[in-house]
């Protein structure tokens, strides 16, 4: 039976790998999207690094962050970040949580993150902070309980980004591609803001500039252009690396013969090959 969500799963898996390729997600972090036909559910990958995700890794969750169908797949521990935002914000259709090194200095220092270039306007009007310590005391700095998830969602409020003190950031978008765009350019903006602060002087966009730039950057035309570029960059990287094949043995797990030796023949060293050719030629000479 055809999967009615096949195209959606493919796009969400692609979004995972784009964000990894662009340096937003690494071994940790995750992105989700609201179910296109059922607003009471959302889609997110199984537990694992974003760079490895394929369409069949995408799972369907309820807004209580429980699997919609039974699964043996391991799940992210911070699913409530996504479910609680979808519950609180009907206008949000995609959520990304990450720990980008460009944004973390602001999470650590408490310095306000502000738009400093036109594409950085996708930060939104203001980027609030959320500190788990305020309500929950000492924790492992993970958002894992419904109470923590709801508190985090309240801090996001009607904004598009929230910084988690000493932890990372959460982005929201009205679509998957918008969330990817906001996530990437929020990190670019943070990097540029840090560089400008290092030079000793910082100018920011005015409120009017931020509103106009943000509206222009989030049009379907601009989002489509960026998505095409990031997809092309991803394909180039995956083609150059041969892609990810979970079935392919790693170098230290080559198949073994019954004798316990590698079944693959080792290539002879150049010197040994040359010596072999000399001996063969000598044997071939008439006596």
Is residue 43 within 8 Å of residue 61, measured between CB atoms?
yes
- Which pLDDT tens digit goes with each residue over 208-244? 999 999 999 999 999 999 999 999 999 999 999 887 6
Is 191 in the same domain as 261?
Answer: no
Is 105 in the same domain as 210?
Answer: yes
Mean pLDDT of 19-32: 98
Evaluate whether residue 34 is within a structural domain: yes
Residues near 45 by Cβ (< 8 Å), separated by ≥ 6?
12, 13, 16, 30, 31, 53, 57, 58, 59
CA angle 238, 227, 125 (to 5 degrees): 130
Evaluate whether residue 248 is within a structural domain: no
Specify the CATH number for the domain of residue 129. 3.40.225.10
Is 231 in the same domain as 258?
Answer: no
User: What range defines the domain where residue 181 resides?
Assistant: 6-241
CA distance 93 to 72: 26
Q: Which three-class secondary structure state does DSSP give residue 255?
A: coil
Evaluate whether residue 1 is within a structural domain: no
Q: What is the pLDDT of residue 244?
A: 61
The answer on pLDDT for 2 being more than 50 is: yes
Please report, rounded to a whole number, the percentage of residues in the chain having pLDDT higher than 70.
84
- Which pLDDT tens digit goes with each residue over 39-58? 999 999 999 999 999 999 99
- Which pLDDT tens digit goes with each residue over 54-104? 999 999 999 999 999 999 999 999 999 999 999 999 999 999 999 999 999
Is 88 in the same domain as 229?
Answer: yes
Is 172 in the same domain as 130?
Answer: yes
Is 268 in the same domain as 167?
Answer: no
Evaluate whether residue 145 is within a structural domain: yes
The answer on pLDDT for 115 being more than 60 is: yes
Residues near 28 by Cβ (< 8 Å), separated by ≥ 6?
49, 98, 99
CA distances from 131 to 107, 136, 168, 230, 234 (A): 9, 9, 11, 33, 34
Domain total of the chain: 2
The answer on pLDDT for 259 being more than 70 is: no
Residues near 17 by Cβ (< 8 Å), separated by ≥ 6?
50, 51, 53, 234, 238
The answer on pLDDT for 245 being more than 60 is: no
Catalytic residue numbers read 78
Is 125 in the same domain as 162?
Answer: yes
Is residue 110 within 8 Å of residue 134, measured between CB atoms?
no
């Amino acid at each position: 039976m055809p999967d009615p969500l096949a195209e959606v799963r493919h796009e969400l898996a692609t979004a995972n790998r784009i964000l990894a390729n662009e340096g937003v997600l690494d071994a940790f972090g995750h992105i989700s999207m609201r179910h296109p036909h059922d607003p009471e559910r959302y889609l997110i990958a199984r537990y694992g690094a974003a760079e490895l995700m394929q369409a069949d890794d995408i799972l369907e969750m309820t807004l209580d962050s429980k699997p919609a169908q039974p699964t043996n797949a391991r799940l992210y521990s911070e699913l409530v970040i996504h479910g609680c935002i979808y519950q609180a914000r009907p206008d949000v259709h995609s959520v990304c949580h990450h720990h980008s090194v460009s944004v973390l200095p602001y999470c650590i220092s408490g310095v306000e993150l502000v738009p400093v270039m036109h594409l950085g306007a996708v930060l939104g009007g203001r980027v609030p902070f959320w500190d788990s310590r305020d309500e929950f005391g000492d924790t492992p700095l993970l958002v894992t309980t419904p109470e923590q998830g709801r508190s985090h969602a309240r801090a996001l409020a009607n904004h598009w980004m929230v910084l988690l003190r000493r932890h990372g950031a959460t982005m929201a978008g009205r679509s998957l591609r918008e969330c990817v765009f906001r996530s990437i350019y929020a990190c670019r903006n943070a990097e540029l803001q840090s560089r400008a602060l290092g030079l000793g002087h910082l100018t920011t966009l005015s409120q009017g500039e931020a509103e106009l730039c943000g509206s222009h950057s989030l049009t379907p035309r601009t989002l489509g252009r960026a998505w095409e570029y990031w997809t092309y960059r991803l394909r180039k990287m995956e083609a150059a690396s041969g892609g990810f094949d979970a079935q392919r043995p790693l170098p230290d797990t080559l198949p073994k013969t019954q004798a316990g030796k590698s079944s693959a023949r080792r290539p002879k060293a150049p010197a040994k090959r040359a010596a072999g050719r000399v001996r063969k030629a000598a044997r071939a000479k008439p006596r």
